[in-house]
Structures are given as structure tokens and as C-alpha cells.
Structure 1
Amino acid sequence: MALHPRAGKPATQDDLVNIPKLMSHYYRRVPDQNNPAQKVTFGTSGHRGCAFDASFNEQHILAITQAVVDYRKQQGIGGALVLGMDTHALSQAAYITAIEVLVANGVEVIAQLDDAFTPTPVVSQYLVAANRNKAKGDPMMIDGLIITPSHNPPKDGGIKYNPPHGGPAEAEITAWIEQRANDYLAAQLEGIRRVNIEIALTTGRVKYTDLYLPYIAALDQVVDMQAIREANIRIGVDPLGGSGIYYWQRIAAHYGLDITVVNNTVDPAFAFMPLDKDGKIRMDCSSPYAMAGLLTRQQEFDLCLGNDPDYDRHGIVCPERGQGGGGLMNPNHYLAVAIDYLLTHRPQWQESLAVGKTLVSSAMIDRICQHRARQLLEVPVGFKWFVDGLANQTIAFGGEESAGAAFLQRDGQTWCTDKDGFILGLLAAEILAVTGMTPGEYYQQLTAQFGTSYYGRIDSPISAKKKAKFAALSAESLGADLLAGDKVTAVLTKAPGNGAAIGGIKVCTDNGWFAARPSGTEALFKLYAESFVSEQHLKQIFADARILIDTALKAL
């Protein structure tokens, strides 16, 4: 995809979504059940869509929320439900719609005081803490709904369900909810219970709760906040207008930290955002274009942090200190740093704990785990694959190449079971405080020890017919013996860590690899590759991969 000429530049009025029009479409447009694009569809992170396209409208939220209520009844979940939301324009409207359905069905709702924003990790950590000492099957288990489309553009909306384990719902759960919700839409909402919000708020079933304090007060259980304070680390934060914006000053006050929020704007149009690589407004904290504003401030602080709107992703910006390692860190690089640091600075963690990574994350992690004699758990794309391991304390760390991760408390107990952008950012400050190196400098040390990684991803258009053939790819159909001149050592259609289908294929050599998988929501296929030889070698891997994939799909 060609770089947009205004990537990294300020948005103009022409780039902004018409919020009143968007809200009108949320309430007035009716999804067409004969149009697959307008049905409820749960991807790896819930249902997402846009009111303009009739793919995220009030009827979707009514149907999804009632389906979640039905699922809770089927599973005997009788406790409260924690309801969170981010700062996207459609989130507040969907939040009210969800309350109306939940209360009408007799569900007690836990909401942030003043209907304020609630980040994904705060909901997850609250669920884990509340359910920690309850027996399996306890009818008073609590669960959660989070209304967010993550880093998607301002016109989009999203909603995701976290069951009592606190993490993203498993595929079988989302498939059940998806089918049930679509059944309600097909029946023109018959069977959905709803009560007006004004009445709902008089029932006593909406329990407004301080969700800030429990999360913030527990942070020192997972990150060494004392080390950060004693080292006087100066931290600059750009919340990118997201749901964690009011947490940072509370964290600073609670622990005596030097934190400056460099942008305190909350705007549903996100007019303050620089444009991303494709010219769209997208709050992607792993993109140097979306993070252009914070990058101009990197020399003012010891460390700068950014997050996406629901705070399940992290962006780490290091100052240039004359030895390299400055700028926005590649998410793969920071995952490697975080893993190596944690494995050497968490003495209470058992050596039997595994490290989890998705199969499109950097093989630098493989090399670190091998060097540290730690088990590597390689799974398909999706944080849901780490939930059980984090909940059962068999995985110390789970991370995705898309800048989402979580890890155990310092004592080896579960912190949360969803991605947590707060703790990954604060961990970067701990690393600087304890080692004297920024995470960028730490990564340079890793490359000196394990080699330099050259990593890339290319998204390419693909026809629906070819996209459907991806599931049939195999070692035999691919017929790959060599990749960029190196002998192929493995061809994977299932993840080695858990045997789950990867929805595509991965080909490995001793010097590099590529993985190809179709997008779950668009007519695209995603091609990832990594080389430990050179940038030119990476280009050759991409070129060979394209030929192999195209030839195999044509033959199927």
C-alpha cells in the first residue's frame, strides 16, 4: 500500500466525520439481514462496524446485548456485569442502549462514576480480582462488556464480551452470541427486552462504582512503581484521546511519579490526530504517523507513552541519547525487550512458566526463550489464545505483534487476562529505572547478542474465491523446498504451541520465515515476513512467498 502524501500531517476539516449525521444513522438505519456485511460478525475482538454502513447501529447493540444476557443465563452467570466504553462517538450511544437491555433483563450493571470512560484492561483486571476466590461455576461470577472498536477510525463502533475469566471470549462463545444476535435481527427484534434509560436508572440495578482506585492501587503488584519513583523517570503521555486519559494523573498522584499528559483533548471526531499511513484518522499507537505528535516531544522526557482508545495497546517512544534506539519502538522489538527483562527481573516467577507469542511475532522472541531456557508457546493470531494460560498462571507473558500484551503480577499471580497498555507502558519506565537503558537501547543490546531482525507486513487485495481457498493450503499444496535460497525447515498450518489452525500458512527456514493469512473482515490477505540476514533478504522472502501462495491458490 502506497504511503498517503499527508501521512503524519494534521487532519483538516475535510478529514473529519460528521458526528451528528453518524449519530442519526446509528438510531435510524436498519440492518439488512440479507446483506452479510450488515449482520453481527464477531472477529478476534468482538463486533465492529459503522453506522453509515448499517453495520453498527442501535439494532445491532440491542441484539448483541440480549444475546449476551441469554448466554449468561445458559451458563448460570448471575453476578453483575461490568460495562466499559471508550471515547469513539458511537460508544456513548451504544453504552446507553446496552444499559437499557441489561436492566430490563434484571442484570446488575457496574459502571464507572459519572458514566466516565473505562479502559479494557481495567474491566479485565476488575473481573479477575472479583472472581479470584470464587469456585468454578459460582452463580455470582461477574463478566463484562466493553464498547470499543479499538484503534479504528472515529466513524466506527465496536463491542466485545469478556466472560468471567476476564479475557476475550473464546470462538465458541462469540459464535453462539453472533448467531443468537442475528436471529434477533432476523425476527425484527422480537424477544428483546428493553426499558428506557431514565427508568433504568431508577431501578437501582446500575451500580456506579469507582473503578479508578482498585486498578491504580494494585499497579505496584505488577510493575515496580517504587523503582520508577526513586529514579525520577520523567514520563510524557499522549492518550490519543482515549479512555485512559483520566488515569494518568491519578497514577502520578498515587505513586509520586513525574507524568505529564501532553495532550488532554477528548474529541469524538479525533480532530487533533495526525493522519495515518493511508490518510485516515486512526488512533494506532504503533504507527509513527498516528504518533507523529508525540514524536515531536520525545526529547523532552526520559520516556514517552501512547495508547489506543480502549488502552489494550501500547506505544513506546524513546529519546535519542547519542547511542541510537530513539523514536517509536517497533512493537516486535518492545515485546522482545519486555520478555527478556521480565524473565531476568521477576525472581518469584517459576521457571516452568511459558512465554506466549502469536506466530506472526518476531523470532527474536524464540531466540530469547531458547537462551533463557524458557518454554515458548506459539499460537495463532488473537489474544484469546493466552487467556487460559494467564488465568491459570502457566503463561508468564502473552503478546501480539500488533502491540498488545499482558503479563503476570510480580508474585506470579494473575493480573489480567486481556491486553493492558498501561502496564506495558509502565514496564518501559521500570526497565529504564532498573537498567539505566531505554527500551530502545536495551533492544540494541539484544540484537548484538541474537542478531538483527528485518521484519515487515504487506496487505494485498484478494478475491473472495481465492480468500476461501486459504483454509485448504498445506505443505503439499505449497510444495516449498527453498525460501530466499534457504532450505525450508517447517511448513505450518497449525500453531505449534496449541495445535490450533492458523487460518493460513507459515513457512520457516533457519534465517527467516513468512506467514500468510486472510483478513477476517476485508478482501485482503496479510503477508508477514522476517529475515535475520538483511533487508534485501527480507524482500526476497516476500517475493518468493507471493509466488508460492499465488501458485498454490491457483492450483486448488
Structure 2
Amino acid sequence: MAIDKRAGLAAAQMDLVNIPKLMSHYYRLSPDVNIDSQRVSFGTSGHRGCAFAKSFNEKHILAIVQAVVDYRQQAEITGPMLVGIDTHALSQAAFVTTLEVLSGNAVTARVAAHDEFTPTPVISHGIVRANRAKSKPGAALTDGLIITPSHNPPQDGGIKYNPPHGGPAEGEITAWIEARANQYLAKQLEGVKRLTYALATNTSLIQPVDFMTAYVDSLDDVIDMQAISRAGVRIGVDPLGGAGIHYWDKIAKRYQLDITLVNDKVDPSFSFMPLDKDGKIRMDCSSPYAMAGLLAHQHEFDICVGNDPDYDRHGIVCPSTGLMNPNHFLAVAIEYLLTHRPQWADSLAIGKTLVSSAMIDKVCLELGRPLCEVPVGFKWFVDGLSESTLAFGGEESAGAAFLQRDGRTWCSDKDGFIMALLAAEIVAVTGQTPAQRYQQMVERHGESFYQRIDSPVTPKRKAKFNQLITQSVTCELLGSDTLAGDAITAILTYAPGNQAPIGGVKVVTANGWFAARPSGTEALFKLYGESFVSAEHLEQLLAQAQLMIETMLSA
């Protein structure tokens, strides 16, 4: 994708979404369930869409929340529902709609007191804590809804469901909810129960809770907050206008940390954001263009951190070296945790997605720790984190979580707060930035050259690719038994860590690999590649990978 000439520059008036028009369309436009783009569709992170495109409107939320209520009834989940919300404009509207449906079904909804925003990891942590002691049959378990489209542009909305384990819902659950919600849309919402917001707020079903204090007071369970305080680490934070913006002041006061917010703005149009690589406003904390505002302050602090609007992702900025590649920080975080968490059992595995850097494999091999490689999607780490058999689960897209210092579950969804604070702990304890520690890793294991390429794909080619990967993918089907000059050592269509289908193919050699998979929510084909030889070798590897995919599709 070509980089837009205005990438990294401040947004102009012409870039801003018309918020009143967006809100009007949320309430006034109705989706057509016979049009695929307007149906409820759960990807790896819930349902997302835009009111302008009739893909995220009030009827979607009415149908989805009723479907969630139906699911929890048949699953005998009877405890309260924790409801989180980020700072997107449509999130506020969907939040009200959600409470109307929950109240109409007599479901107790626990929401943040004082109209505070509530990040994804706070909801996950709250669910885990609420259910920790409820192991008896028939216990009233807690689950959650989080209203967020993550780092998507300001005009988008999203909603995701976290069952009682606290993490993203499994595929079979989201498929059930998706089908049920579309049935409600097809029947013009017949069967959906709701109270008006005015009536709902006058019941005892909506319960304000101080989520913030409970979460902040627990942070010392997972991060060595005293070490950060003693070392006086100077931390610069850009919340990117997200749901965690008011948490940082409380964290600083609670643990006596030197934290400075370089941007304290909350604005549903996100007018303060630099433009992303494609010239759009997108709160992507792994993008140097979207993080340009924080990068301008990198020399003023020992470490700088940023997060996306629902705080399930992290961006780490080190002095002089700038924004770290997410893969690099994952490898550093894993190495540090495995050598600085003495209460963690040696049997605990490290979870990575199959498109994350092989540097993680080298770290685990060096330290003699088991590695669990799974398909794309954080949901694959949920069981391991919930059962405390995975010490860490991380995605190449800058999302991760890990266990408490005592080896118990902290949360089972991505947590941008603890990843950001872990970067500060690394500085405090080692006296080195994560970037410096990664460079030492490179000296031991070699340099990684990594790239992802997104390209358009037609429904016909996508369907053929999906059909081919259900069969045995061989060197003959790919048209070669070598990749970029190296012998192919493995061809994977199932993840080695859990034998789940990866929704694509991964081809591995001694010096590199590529993975190809269609997006689950967009008309895009994603190609990932990594080389431990050179940038030129990576270019050769990716070029041959594209030829291999074409050979497959031409078979």
C-alpha cells in the first residue's frame, strides 16, 4: 500500500467525520439483512461497522444484545453483565441501546460510575475476579459486553462479547450469536425486549461500579510497580483519546509514578490525531504515523507508551530509536518475564500466533520454555490464560496479556495497560530500554526482517483458496520444494500448538517463512513473511510466496 503524502500530519477539517450526521444515521437508517455487508458479522473481535454504511445501526445492537441474552440464558449464565465502553461516538449510542435491552430482559448491568469510560482489559479483569471463587455448579457467573471498534476510524462502531472466562468469545459462541441476531433482523426485531432508557435507569438493574479503583489497586499483582517508582522512571503517555485516559492519573497517584500525559484530549471526531499511512484517522498505536504526536516527545522521557481506544493494544516508544516493532517488543517482554518472574513454573508455555516473529521461538528455545503456536486471534490464548497454563499470549498486531506475578490469571483478554507498564518495569529493573534489550537479542540470534502485505481479493478467489487449504497442501501444489533458495521444512494448515485450522497456509524453511490467509472481515488477502538473512532475502521470499499462491489458485 502506498503511503499517503499527508501520513503523520495533523488531521484537517475535511478529514473529520460529521458526528451529528453519524448519530442521526445510527437511529434512522435500517440494515437490509439480505445484503451481506449489512448483516451482523462477528470477526475475531466482535461485530464492527459504520452507521453510514448500514452496518452498525441501532437495529444491529438491539438484535446482537438480545442474541447475547438468549445465549447466556441457554448457557445458564445468570450473574451480572459487566458493560465496557470506549470513546468512539457510536459507542455512546450503542451503550444506551445495550442497557435498554439488558434491562428489558431483567439482566443486571454493571457499568462504570460517573459515566467513566471502561477499557476492554478492565472488563476482562473484572470478570476473572468476579468468577474466581465461583466453581460450584449453578453459581451465578459474570460475563461482559464491550462496546468498541478498537483502533478503527471515528465513524465506526463495534461490540464484542466476553463469556465468564473473561476473554473473547469462542468461534462457536460468536457464530451462534451472529445467526440469532440476523434472525432478529430478518423478523424486524420481533422478540427483542427493551425498556426505554428513562425507565431502565429508574430500575435497580443498572448498577454503577468503581471499575477503575478495583483495577488500579490490583496492578501490583501483575507488575512490579514499586520498582518503577523507586527508579523514578519518567513515563510519557499518549492515550490517543481512548478509554484509559483517566486511569493514568490514578495509577500515578496510587503508586507514586512519574507519568505525564502528552495529550489529554477526548473528542469523538479524534481531530487531534495525526493521519495514518492511508491518510485516514485511525488510532493505531502500532503505526508510526498515527503515533507521530507521541514520537515528538520521545527524547523527553525514559519510555513513552500509547494505546488504542479500548486499551487492548500497546505501542512502545524508546528514546532515539522511536516506535518499536510489535514483534520486537513481544520477544523482549517474553524474555524479561521468563527471567524475572521466579514464581512462574518452568512448565508454563508461551503463546504466539503463527504470524508472529520466529524471534519468539528462538527466545523460548534459548530459555528452555515450551512454545504454543496458534492461529490468528487472541481467543486461542483464552483457555491457557484462564487455566494458568500459558504464561503469556501475544499477537503480532500489538496485543498481549500475561499472568500475575504469582502465576495466577490476571485477565484473559489483551491488556494494553500492563504491556505499557511492563516496558517501564524493564527500564526500572534492567536500566535498559526494550529497544536496547532487543538489540542484544539480535546479536545472539540474528536480525529479523518482517513484512505484511495486504492486497484485494475477489470472493471467488477467496472461496477457492479456502477450499484448497482444507486439503493437503504440498510442495507440488505450491510449485516448488524450495523458498528463497532454502529447502521447505514444513507446510502448515493447522497450528502446531493446538491443531486448529489456521485459515491459511504457512511455509517454513531454516531461514524464514511466509503465511497467507484471507481476512475474515474484509475483502483482503494477507501475506506475512520473515527472513533471518537480509531485507533482500525477505523480498525474494515474499515474491516467491506470491507466485506460490498464484500457482495454488491456478491448479
1:353 partner amino acid: L
* CA distance in structure 2 between the partners assigned to 1:350 and 1:244 by the alignment: 32
Q: Partner of 1:458 in structure 2?
A: 453
User: Structure 1 residues 136, 274: CA separation in 2 closer, same or farther (over 3 Å shift)?
Assistant: farther
Task: Give the alignment of 1:40-189 within 5 angstroms.
Answer: 40-135=40-135, 137-189=137-189
* CA distance in structure 2 between the partners assigned to 1:301 and 1:498 by the alignment: 41
| CA shift for structure 1 position 137 | 4.2
8 Å CA contact retained: 1:84, 1:119: yes
Structure 1 unaligned residues grouped into runs of 5+: 321-325
Q: Partner of 1:408 in structure 2?
A: 403
* CA distance in structure 2 between the partners assigned to 1:376 and 1:425 by the alignment: 23
- Which whole-Å deviations, capped at 9, do the CAs of 1:492-543 have from their partners, x for residues lacking one? 0010000000111000000000000001122110000000000000000110
- Which secondary structure state, in structure 2, belongs to the residue aligned with residue 504 of structure 1? strand
* CA distance in structure 1 between the partners assigned to 2:541 and 2:182 by the alignment: 42
8 Å CA contact retained: 1:233, 1:257: yes
Q: Partner of 1:245 in structure 2?
A: 245
Q: Partner of 1:448 in structure 2?
A: 443
* CA distance in structure 2 between the partners assigned to 1:137 and 1:122 by the alignment: 26
- Which whole-Å deviations, capped at 9, do the CAs of 1:47-68 have from their partners, x for residues lacking one? 0000000000000000000000
- Which whole-Å deviations, capped at 9, do the CAs of 1:257-277 have from their partners, x for residues lacking one? 000011000000000000000
* CA distance in structure 2 between the partners assigned to 1:73 and 1:503 by the alignment: 31
* CA distance in structure 1 between the partners assigned to 2:112 and 2:518 by the alignment: 38
* CA distance in structure 1 between the partners assigned to 2:154 and 2:370 by the alignment: 40
- Which secondary structure state, in structure 1, belongs to the residue aligned with residue 125 of structure 2? helix
| CA shift for structure 1 position 136 | 5.6
Q: TM-score, normalised by structure 1?
A: 0.98
Q: Partner of 2:391 in structure 1?
A: 396
Q: Partner of 2:288 in structure 1?
A: 288
Considering only aligned residues, what root-mean-square deviation do their CA atoms show, in Å?
0.7
* CA distance in structure 1 between the partners assigned to 2:8 and 2:40 by the alignment: 33
8 Å CA contact retained: 1:46, 1:160: yes
* CA distance in structure 1 between the partners assigned to 2:246 and 2:284 by the alignment: 19
User: Structure 1 residues 445, 540: CA separation in 2 closer, same or farther (over 3 Å shift)?
Assistant: same
Q: State the percentage of identical aligned residues.
A: 68
- Which secondary structure state, in structure 2, belongs to the residue aligned with residue 277 of structure 1? coil
2:473 partner amino acid: A
User: Structure 1 residues 183, 136: CA separation in 2 closer, same or farther (over 3 Å shift)?
Assistant: farther
2:19 partner amino acid: I
8 Å CA contact retained: 2:479, 2:551: no
8 Å CA contact retained: 2:464, 2:553: yes
- Which whole-Å deviations, capped at 9, do the CAs of 1:64-104 have from their partners, x for residues lacking one? 00000001100111100000000001000000000000011
* CA distance in structure 2 between the partners assigned to 1:33 and 1:347 by the alignment: 54
8 Å CA contact retained: 1:76, 1:139: no
Q: Partner of 1:468 in structure 2?
A: 463
- Which secondary structure state, in structure 2, belongs to the residue aligned with residue 178 of structure 1? helix
2:11 partner amino acid: A
* CA distance in structure 2 between the partners assigned to 1:149 and 1:178 by the alignment: 17
* CA distance in structure 2 between the partners assigned to 1:136 and 1:61 by the alignment: 33
1:456 partner amino acid: Q
| CA shift for structure 1 position 138 | 3.4
- Which whole-Å deviations, capped at 9, do the CAs of 1:457-502 have from their partners, x for residues lacking one? 0001111111112221342232430000000000000100000001
Q: Partner of 2:490 in structure 1?
A: 490
2:401 partner amino acid: A
Runs of 4+ deviating beyond 4 Å: none
8 Å CA contact retained: 1:76, 1:137: no
Task: Give the alignment of 1:28-43 within 5 angstroms.
Answer: 28-43=28-43
| CA shift for structure 1 position 139 | 3.6
* CA distance in structure 1 between the partners assigned to 2:480 and 2:72 by the alignment: 47
- Which secondary structure state, in structure 2, belongs to the residue aligned with residue 96 of structure 1? helix
2:552 partner amino acid: A
Question: 418, 423, 426: which one pairs with 2:421?
Answer: 426
Q: Partner of 1:323 in structure 2?
A: none
- Which whole-Å deviations, capped at 9, do the CAs of 1:315-359 have from their partners, x for residues lacking one? 000002xxxxx1000000000000000000000000000000000
User: Structure 1 residues 550, 314: CA separation in 2 closer, same or farther (over 3 Å shift)?
Assistant: same
Q: Partner of 1:338 in structure 2?
A: 333
1:437 partner amino acid: Q
1:190 partner amino acid: E
* CA distance in structure 1 between the partners assigned to 2:327 and 2:538 by the alignment: 16
- Which secondary structure state, in structure 2, belongs to the residue aligned with residue 144 of structure 1? strand
Q: Partner of 2:412 in structure 1?
A: 417
Task: Give the alignment of 1:282-321 within 5 angstroms.
Answer: 282-320=282-320
* CA distance in structure 2 between the partners assigned to 1:104 and 1:459 by the alignment: 43
* CA distance in structure 2 between the partners assigned to 1:136 and 1:388 by the alignment: 19
Question: 351, 356, 362: which one pairs with 2:346?
Answer: 351
| CA shift for structure 1 position 142 | 0.4
Q: Partner of 1:328 in structure 2?
A: 323
Q: Partner of 2:381 in structure 1?
A: 386
* CA distance in structure 2 between the partners assigned to 1:282 and 1:453 by the alignment: 27
* CA distance in structure 2 between the partners assigned to 1:253 and 1:215 by the alignment: 14
| CA shift for structure 1 position 33 | 1.0
The reply on whether 1:255 has 2:255 as its aligned counterpart is yes
The reply on whether 1:276 has 2:276 as its aligned counterpart is yes
* CA distance in structure 1 between the partners assigned to 2:425 and 2:202 by the alignment: 45
* CA distance in structure 1 between the partners assigned to 2:12 and 2:506 by the alignment: 41
- Which whole-Å deviations, capped at 9, do the CAs of 1:200-230 have from their partners, x for residues lacking one? 0111110001001110000000000000000
1:205 partner amino acid: L
- Which secondary structure state, in structure 2, belongs to the residue aligned with residue 245 of structure 1? coil
1:150 partner amino acid: S
Moved more, 449-458 or 476-485: 476-485
* CA distance in structure 2 between the partners assigned to 1:521 and 1:7 by the alignment: 25
* CA distance in structure 1 between the partners assigned to 2:465 and 2:317 by the alignment: 37
* CA distance in structure 2 between the partners assigned to 1:98 and 1:382 by the alignment: 25
Q: Partner of 1:16 in structure 2?
A: 16
* CA distance in structure 2 between the partners assigned to 1:133 and 1:433 by the alignment: 34
* CA distance in structure 2 between the partners assigned to 1:291 and 1:469 by the alignment: 38
8 Å CA contact retained: 2:382, 2:413: yes
* CA distance in structure 1 between the partners assigned to 2:526 and 2:280 by the alignment: 19
| CA shift for structure 1 position 115 | 2.2
* CA distance in structure 2 between the partners assigned to 1:552 and 1:378 by the alignment: 25
Q: Partner of 1:26 in structure 2?
A: 26
* CA distance in structure 2 between the partners assigned to 1:458 and 1:366 by the alignment: 22
8 Å CA contact retained: 1:94, 1:147: yes
Q: TM-score, normalised by structure 2?
A: 0.98
